[in-house]
Copies of this chain bind each other. A is one copy, B any other.
Amino acid sequence: MTYSVRFLPYNVSVKVDDNTSLIRAAMDAGVHINASCGGEGVCGKCRVLIEKGNVEGGVSEKLSVEDREKGYRLACLSEVNSDLVVRIPVESEIDTSRLNVQAGSRHTAQVLYADIDELRQDGLFIPPVEKIYLELPPATAEDNQSDVTRIINHLCFKHDEHHLTMGLDLIRKTPEIIRQGEFKITVTIVRPVRKDGKNEIVNIEPFDTSDRNFAIAVDIGTTTVYGQALDLHTGKVLSEHGEFNPQISYGEDVISRIMFAEKGDGLEILHQKIIEIINKIIDRIVKKAGIGQHEVTTITLAGNTTMTQLLLKINPSYIRRDPYVPASSVYPPFHSSQIGIDLADHTIALIYPGVSSYVGGDIIAGIMASGMYRSSELTLYMDIGTNAEIVIGHKDWMVCTAASAGPAFEGGGVKFGMRATKGAIEDFSINPLTYEPMIITVENKKAKGICGSGMITIAAKLLETGVIDSRGKFNQSLDTPRIRKTDDIWEYVLVYKENTQIDRDITITEPDLDNLIRAKGAMYSAALTLLEEIGMKISDIERVILAGGFGSYVELQSAITIGLLPEIDPSKVTYLGNGSLLGCKINSLTNALRRDVAKVVNMMTNFELAATHSYMDHYMGALFLPHTQLDYFPKVKARLEKLRK
């Protein structure tokens, strides 16, 4: 159910889902409401008048009895439950036209292949691991072929299945199971990537269990690990769960983890840590989904090259050493128990292949999930994180590279930086006259810090209102106590300590902005360099796909404003969310995809930025907001000029 909310005096309307908080509705509408605490009703500043319609909640002791009776509510505590007209009290003479600069609408993921029925129609909904129920003719004196031959012949003649094999362990179990099921059995078959490859029978169960076929998808991020349990009949996600990657204790980034792996039993430790957390996630999601561990027939895992090698206990040392060579880009399917994953012996593990030391399986998974390999539009795929991976291309060719963006996008190198968890400032607006902020935090909890997407929006808004200049330096002459110098460092106070969880003023500092500029500069210049290497321009890009846990939160216009993304029609930008996890999910559902994966990996050309002539020049040029060359950003240029007029 969606409702319309009209904000006065700006006369701006927005459509929102029911139970959206009024302050988020305002943010979506691009309407500023002073709100300093993040949304728990603590600061009491976000007072609005409900002129038409009703909201759920919004009443607080911060409001006088009189105000309450008049219909005032706190926007952060009010949930939309009907069409509304809401008036925002204007405390001073404000140019409403200046306040009302509509932000780029948020895009939700347009995921190809997400529609299972479409897959079914195309005949592509054939999971890599299938279950087939067989009613075998029982053995007699006239027909006493071996148990395994009986199964294989039946599959061949009755189910048109060919090139079948069975491993020794399963052959050992077959005679008992076939008799336990009175010659009625369910076989689990792993499909090959090549059409004429071998179909491996990996499990046999007595009687009909063909409706119990489940998969697990796991994205192994440097920071977080996510798992999903999938029903292979409906294609639906039954449950999901995420945890921090416990390897963090041994190194924040991939390089420090590789260095740890090089020492003593470091590799073993990091391998064990990731397996343990995967097992914890599996345990959680199978219980939530109400399925047995033995009913999971396949697990698909994707991660960057280092995460993949640590998962598989492969020495990652050469990844960090010139010329940066990974052990392998493709891995064979194997039994997940082989690496200690706590699933049945027959559960098959499928690992997403990678391209290079810094363009790994997570990116390929994202490319597959995005469908860009089937599109004819020239697409820029960006996975934003500490290590930023960039892929450019379409169905005929693809090039890729990776840049070290630094940890700013993930809350690192930022004084009050944090991951996008409860209380992280994720959205921001600023009153261009009073410079008072509007803060929205994750789950509307009292503010605790700033997450990556918050950083981008804050920087963009500060730039738009002239609080900072294109080098990220504060305008020291503005008349607000929020801009101040502490310990010789200029900063802007986002939330005063009484409204925080941490009992300290939460600020954004010039060094924070410096780190952010370097991070976005690395990404943008990587894209520019890649385009230059293949003789194309940034304006040739027809479509942008953003991925990464971070990418799904980023406010698009802000990202363009600071020069992280190229200037492109926002409708041409797609958020993919966790592309790696999505790729794993799709891989679990359709075996056709696995053939495409091999094609994509083969067509992908990797560039090492360090080996190009222009990367450093492009990088230096990108260390401005949005860029030294404003020609790349004509609309941002015009907008900034208009806002500051």
Q: Which residues of A contact B (CB under 8 A)?
A: 139-149, 163, 165-168, 171-172, 174-176, 179, 194, 196-198, 312-315, 317-318, 322-332, 334, 338-339, 356-357, 606, 608, 610-611
A-B contact pairs, 16 of them (CB 8 A): A141-B323, A141-B324, A144-B356, A144-B608, A146-B328, A148-B327, A148-B330, A163-B194, A171-B327, A172-B314, A174-B328, A175-B317, A175-B325, A179-B318, A197-B198, A198-B198
In the assembly, what is the distance between CA of A622 and CA of B301, in Å?
A: 67
Specify which chain B residues have a CB less than 8 angstroms from the CB of A328 in the assembled complex: 146-149, 166, 171, 174
Q: Which residue of B lies closest to A315 (CB)?
A: B175
In the assembly, what is the distance between CA of A148 and CA of B356, in Å?
A: 12
Q: Chain A contact residues: over half helix, strand or loop, or mixed? A: loop
Contact of A147 among B149, B176, B326, B338 (CB under 8 A): B326
Residue among A139, A145, A338, A339 having the largest count of chain B Cβ atoms under 10 Å:
A145
Residues A329 and B176 in contact, CB atoms below 8 Å apart: no
Residues B610 and A323 in contact, CB atoms below 8 Å apart: no
Knowing A140-B323, A141-B323, A314-B171 touch, does A149 contact B330 (C-beta < 8 A)? Answer: yes
In the assembly, what is the distance between CA of A507 and CA of B103, in Å?
A: 111
Contact of A325 among B144, B314, B315 (CB under 8 A): B144
Specify which chain B residues have a CB less than 8 angstroms from the CB of A143 in the assembled complex: 323
Residues B331 and A171 in contact, CB atoms below 8 Å apart: yes
Specify which chain B residues have a CB less than 8 angstroms from the CB of A139 in the assembled complex: 323, 325
Residues B145 and A331 in contact, CB atoms below 8 Å apart: no
A447 to chain B, nearest CB (A): 45
Specify which chain B residues have a CB less than 8 angstroms from the CB of A179 in the assembled complex: 318
Specify which chain B residues have a CB less than 8 angstroms from the CB of A357 in the assembled complex: 144
Q: Which residue of B lies closest to A168 (CB)?
A: B334
Residues B329 and A145 in contact, CB atoms below 8 Å apart: yes
Contact of A332 among B166, B317, B325, B327 (CB under 8 A): B166
In the assembly, what is the distance between CA of A334 and CA of B200, in Å?
A: 14
Residues A312 and B196 in contact, CB atoms below 8 Å apart: no
Specify which chain B residues have a CB less than 8 angstroms from the CB of A148 in the assembled complex: 327-330
Chain multiplicity (copies): 2
Residues B327 and A611 in contact, CB atoms below 8 Å apart: no
**New A-B pairs, 15, CB < 8 Å, besides A147-B318, A149-B329, A172-B315:** A144-B606, A144-B608, A145-B329, A145-B356, A146-B326, A148-B330, A149-B330, A167-B334, A168-B332, A168-B339, A172-B313, A174-B328, A175-B318, A175-B325, A176-B315
In the assembly, what is the distance between CA of A147 and CA of B334, in Å?
A: 20
In the assembly, what is the distance between CA of A326 and CA of B166, in Å?
A: 15
A243 to chain B, nearest CB (A): 24
Contact of A312 among B168, B176, B610 (CB under 8 A): B168
Q: Which residue of B lies closest to A317 (CB)?
A: B175
In the assembly, what is the distance between CA of A141 and CA of B608, in Å?
A: 7
A337 to chain B, nearest CB (A): 12
Knowing A172-B314, A314-B172 touch, does A146 contact B323 (C-beta < 8 A)? Answer: no
Q: Which residue of B lies closest to A174 (CB)?
A: B327
Q: Which residue of B lies closest to A338 (CB)?
A: B168
In the assembly, what is the distance between CA of A143 and CA of B338, in Å?
A: 32
Specify which chain B residues have a CB less than 8 angstroms from the CB of A167 in the assembled complex: 332, 334
Knowing A175-B314, A312-B171 touch, does A327 contact B146 (C-beta < 8 A)? Answer: yes
Specify which chain B residues have a CB less than 8 angstroms from the CB of A330 in the assembled complex: 148-149
In the assembly, what is the distance between CA of A384 and CA of B319, in Å?
A: 62
In the assembly, what is the distance between CA of A324 and CA of B146, in Å?
A: 9
Q: Which residue of B lies closest to A143 (CB)?
A: B323
Specify which chain B residues have a CB less than 8 angstroms from the CB of A313 in the assembled complex: 172
Specify which chain B residues have a CB less than 8 angstroms from the CB of A174 in the assembled complex: 327-328
Q: Which residue of B lies closest to A194 (CB)?
A: B163
Q: Which residue of B lies closest to A356 (CB)?
A: B144
The 8 closest A-B pairs by CB, nearest first: A148-B328, A144-B323, A146-B326, A146-B329, A141-B611, A141-B323, A139-B325, A175-B327
Q: Which residue of B lies closest to A335 (CB)?
A: B168
In the assembly, what is the distance between CA of A172 and CA of B267, in Å?
A: 12
Residues B326 and A165 in contact, CB atoms below 8 Å apart: no
A598 to chain B, nearest CB (A): 12
Specify which chain B residues have a CB less than 8 angstroms from the CB of A146 in the assembled complex: 325-329, 356
